[in-house]
Amino acid sequence: MAFQIRKFFNKIINFFKEVRLEMKKVNWPTRKETIRYTLIVIAVLTIVALFLGTIDFIFTRFLDKFIL
């Protein structure tokens, strides 16, 4: 029983050692890159939202005028 517990904790320790090694390999973006990418995402989302809102408005007007 004690052997199984020790084996279990050794696996956990090895896992965190491997996580630490992998985190050192990660190429993290700079602050400037993060801000730029965030602004790009916000801009694209705004454009898509405006486009979809416009299409929704047009279809709603069309349905109100001709169908309903």
Gap between the terminal Cα atoms of the chain: 74
Cα dihedral: 15, 19, 20, 26 (round 10): 170
Q: How far apart are CA 68 and CA 61, in angstroms?
A: 10
Range of the domain at 26: 2-67
Tens-digit pLDDT profile for residues 10-51: 999 999 999 999 999 999 999 999 999 999 999 999 999 999
The count of domains in the chain is: 1
Residue 20 token pair: 């630490």
> In the structure, what pLDDT confidence band is assigned to residue 3 with cuts at 50, 70 and 90?
confident
Q: How far apart are CA 39 and CA 32, in angstroms?
A: 11
